[in-house]
């Protein structure tokens, strides 16, 4: 299969699941060694889960299918440019390349505008819309110290 074939599958997932009322018009596939190892589509409204974006669902599916928490050597094909959350999840999963169909401007034009998030992320914490305040750092740091000393940890 070609890059175009994998993108067509992502677009097909976006259309099929949007028409079946699973969620918004977004689909994604993850490929490793020329084979689809994970698929996902937007399930925000059907799962009552604001994190159930197509890319996150595809990452979860690929990790489950491969039995791993990282996706080195994998490629993401997504029907739309990833939002900030999905982009972060893609980086955390160690996916090595992203292909996308619609742009974030295309998404904004049909009601999925992430520009607020892009602007919010770069603001200093005191200027963000949702207040972010430190609390009990000394107690939280104890757990980090325990993690550092833990001999059998699995680093990621």
Selecting among 12, 39, 55, 120, the annotated active-site residue is 55
The C-alpha atoms of residue 40 and residue 76 are separated, in whole angstroms, by 11
CA geometry: angle 63, 100, 3, nearest 5 deg: 80
* 127 in active site: no
List Cβ neighbours of 89 (8 Å cut-off, separation of 6 or more): 55, 56, 59
Write out the DSSP string of 49-106. -TT--HHHHHHHHHHHHHT-S--TTEEEEEEEPPPHHHHHHHHHHT--EEEEEE-HHH
Quick check: 37 and 66 in contact, CB under 8 A? yes
- Catalytic positions are 55
């Amino acid at each position: 299969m070609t890059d175009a074939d994998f993108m067509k599958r992502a677009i097909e997932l976006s259309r099929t699941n949007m028409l079946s009322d699973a969620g918004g018009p977004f689909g994604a596939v993850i490929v490793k060694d020329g084979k689809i190892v994970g698929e996902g589509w937007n399930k925000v409204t059907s799962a009552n889960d604001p994190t159930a974006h197509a890319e996150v669902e595809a990452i979860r599916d690929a990790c489950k299918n491969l039995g791993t928490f990282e996706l080195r050597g994998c490629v993401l094909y997504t029907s739309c440019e990833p939002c900030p959350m999905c982009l972060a999840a893609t980086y955390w999963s160690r996916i090595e390349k992203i292909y996308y169909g619609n742009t974030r401007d295309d998404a904004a034009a049909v009601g999925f505008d992430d520009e607020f998030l892009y602007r919010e992320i770069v603001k200093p914490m005191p200027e963000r819309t949702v207040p972010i305040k430190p609390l009990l750092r000394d107690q939280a740091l104890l757990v980090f110290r325990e993690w550092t000393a833990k001999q059998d940890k699995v680093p990621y």
